[in-house]
Amino acid sequence: MRKYTAAAVASLAVFLASGIIHEWLNYSVQVYHHAEAPKDSIYNPDNIILGSNMAFFAWQFFVMSIEKSFGEISSAKVPQQLVPFLVIMTSLPLAFWFAEPYFQGRFFWDYEGVLPTVIKMD
């Protein structure tokens, strides 16, 4: 993409492709676990809101674009130790857009026997 288009267009295409792949993954998990999901569980594939991963990746593109434009117009340098903090603080408040469909769709339940996971205890 970068060879034929501007950097912003190529970046947008990458974020959109990633969002589409993650939405497909969430939809696949929703279909796979739909029949076996207990209806009274808080983890229910019917509760997956498709589009939230795409919104998360759109937000990441927006943040990256702001970061790039801020860097181009600002003569002041941000201290290198502060950059990871700023990146986390712009992503963390909306991380549930990305993670929630995986929890609702029981995505990690298939791997509980072989991978250490954090589960809610009743």
| DSSP secondary structure string for all residues of 25-76 | HHHHHHHHHTTT--TTSS--GGG--TTHHHHHHHHHHHHHHHHHHHHHH--S
| Other Cβ atoms closer than 10 A to 65 | 14
pLDDT at 40 over 80: no
20, two tokens: 């589409």
Q: Positive or negative CA dihedral for 58, 62, 64, 65?
A: positive
When the pLDDT of each residue in the chain is averaged and rounded to a whole number, the result is 77
The answer to whether residue 9 scores a pLDDT higher than 80 is yes
Residue 53, judged by CB atoms within 10 A of its CB (0-12, 13-18, 19+), counts as buried
Helices (H) and strands (E) in the chain — how many of each?
4, 0
- pLDDT category of residue 33 using cuts at 50, 70 and 90: low
**Confidence bin at 18 (pLDDT 50/70/90):** very high
Are the C-beta atoms of 23 and 54 separated by less than 8 Å? yes
Q: What is the pTM of this model?
A: 0.71
pLDDT-based confidence at residue 55 (cuts at 50, 70, 90): very high
